[in-house]
Structure 1
Amino acid sequence: MATYTTTDGVDLDYRDTGATGSGRTLVLVHGWSQSRATWDRVVPLLAARHRVVSYDQRGHGLSGKPDHGARVARLAADLREITGHLGLRSFDLVGHSMGASVGWSLVDNFGTGPLDSFTVLDQPSACVVLPWMTPEDGAAAGAILDFPGTEGFVGAVGAPDARDTRHGFLASMLSTDIPADDLAHLFEENLRMPGPWGARLLLDHAMQDWRDVLPRIDVPVLVVGGEVSHVSPDSQRWTAEHVPGAHLKVFTRAEGGSHFPFFEGPETFAACLLQFLDGTPGTRA
């Protein structure tokens, strides 16, 4: 077990493994209510070629559970700190769901200087139809909720009796025929996140509008969607169209194309990601 303590005193659990001969490091950032354990099936496949770093974001997994910092911007600061601690002058960022938002926040605040590439895994550039958007704007970007409905959903997730709500939300992100043991494993990781703190983070995450960040990303980008994800694949196509030169991959159901393609189809996902990386210039460090 390796731990890094952030500047505001939160211990982050991380793993650093894999081949170093390529000179590239993949940094895997998980989504809301999950943990680095969700990457365990794909890490060995990636680590055969490259160095791989995965970590539990604050409030998640085995990392510290503070009362503060329930904001995407703070999670982006954590990413910047831990990569600095590991001496990474540049890295290939893979952000799943909210983890992609963490990457967008990093770019928004600090630019693309640290990034060799950026893989956006099934995350809309806007989760909610915000007051300055038309319904058409929200639908194109992939917004899942309307503005008034967000309050009710976040409240339900953070309620004392939210276990069934959290389980239902998780199940909606996965294939309907996922093995019961796999669903139970992911839900166990989900429950490591304290509900009230997670609700605050979810609200902050949902209220972000990253559309203006997309055209400013000037490194190679892979955008990933899934045919059976709760996130519309059309939203990932929209994202790819608004990032200069971005590549798009939408996994089919047979390929594990849910919200968790790296968990339900790790071999296919790893092959896709490695092929994308092979087609990029490599490390800028």
Structure 2
Amino acid sequence: MAAEEPDDDTMPRLAIHARTVLAGARHALLTLPGARVCGWTGLIDDGGEPVLLVGAGSPPTLTAGSRRCRLDVPGFTGERLVLGGQLRTMPGSAEQIARRIAGPGLRPTMPDYDDDGLVALALSVDEVLLCLPTPTEPGARRRGSRAGRRVNALAGRRELGRGAEPRWPSTASGRRIELDAYALAEPDLIAAYAPDLIEHLNTAHAGQLRLIAAAHGRAVAAEVPGGAGPAVPMRPADLASVAGIAVGTLDRDGLTLWQVDEAGAHELRVTFHNPLTEPRSLGLELRRLLTEPSR
């Protein structure tokens, strides 16, 4: 894999970025060069090693331990993480392995499989390349996380999932990550799980989001056309006039919400009482916001 060598100052930051991409990934493009096999499969991160759930009679299982392979992992904001190494079969039940290594906030969906059963394969990583999108490459958001979930159902069959590749960066501009830095880095799990957490909030907690926005939402000042500076923020609308609300972004410090009412669409910011330390602390902060009076 062609690569550009990062300097010592940027190596730890890039290693964290690479581990964060893997921690947030749900699928990847697996290539077995010698076997002429290439296709999408579901994955779970196990401390920097991807674990693939595939059929016992699939090409990856049959070639595990005998051939090098390559895994291209798409990031949510357009990154491309390329991992090289050799697959090995993990002992034990694939379902038990998946549930053991699934991180906080992640409930793995077990793929369908044929009568030959399901196997967990781990990639022993010996090469790491991180490719970042350039300003002229508006990197694809992982082309539909729903598409990635559909891939899980294909991964257990004898053929890997077939799907269109995302428009991701070329490996020619990739940064090679030292294995020691990659192994020692800790992923940012808030950033890694943010897409899944946002989707969960928007689909399962719309009512609570309305209450939180009404009590704690602060309008974000929009720029006035012509460069005259920010406009005066509008106060959040009454619940009765709100047609819809959804989370746009999530970070350690709070939520950005988009609220639609009779006056149009407005961006609101909700700040947590304490910064998130892990994905599971999001529930505690949301419960605090629901029970606290308006700040």
Calculate the TM-score normalised by the size of structure 1. 0.24
Kindly name which structure, 1 or 2, has the bigger radius of gyration based on alpha carbons.
2
Structure having the higher strand fraction is 2
Instruction: Report the TM-score, using the length of structure 2 for normalisation.
Output: 0.23
